[in-house]
Amino acid sequence: MDSPQTPVEAPRRTRLWPAFGIPFSAVGASLLAWLYSPVIMILWILFTLLGCVAWLLWIFRYSRLSRKGQLSFLLLPILIVAVLVAVLRVDYFDGNTIPVFVWRWDEVPVVDVQIKDSKKGKTVDLVTTTALDVPEFLGVGRVPVFKGVNLDPDWTKSPPKELWRQPIGEGYGSFAVVGEYAVTQQQREDEELVVCYHWPTGEARWGQNSGERQEKADHSI
For 44-84, write each residue's pLDDT tens digit.
788 888 888 888 888 888 888 888 888 888 888 889 889 98
Within a domain: 149: no
Which of residues 54, 88, 103 is at a domain's end?
103
Closest CA to 33 of 94, 97, 112: 97
pLDDT band of 37, cuts 50, 70, 90: low
The enclosing H or E element of 49 equals: helix 40-57
pLDDT of residue 109: 62
Within a domain: 4: no
Same domain? 115 vs 210: yes
Within a domain: 150: no
* C-alpha span between 155 and 13 (Å, rounded): 58
Same domain? 113 vs 52: no
Within a domain: 211: yes
The residue type at 94 = D
Within a domain: 120: yes
For residue 209, what are the domain limits?
109-144+163-221
Same domain? 182 vs 119: yes
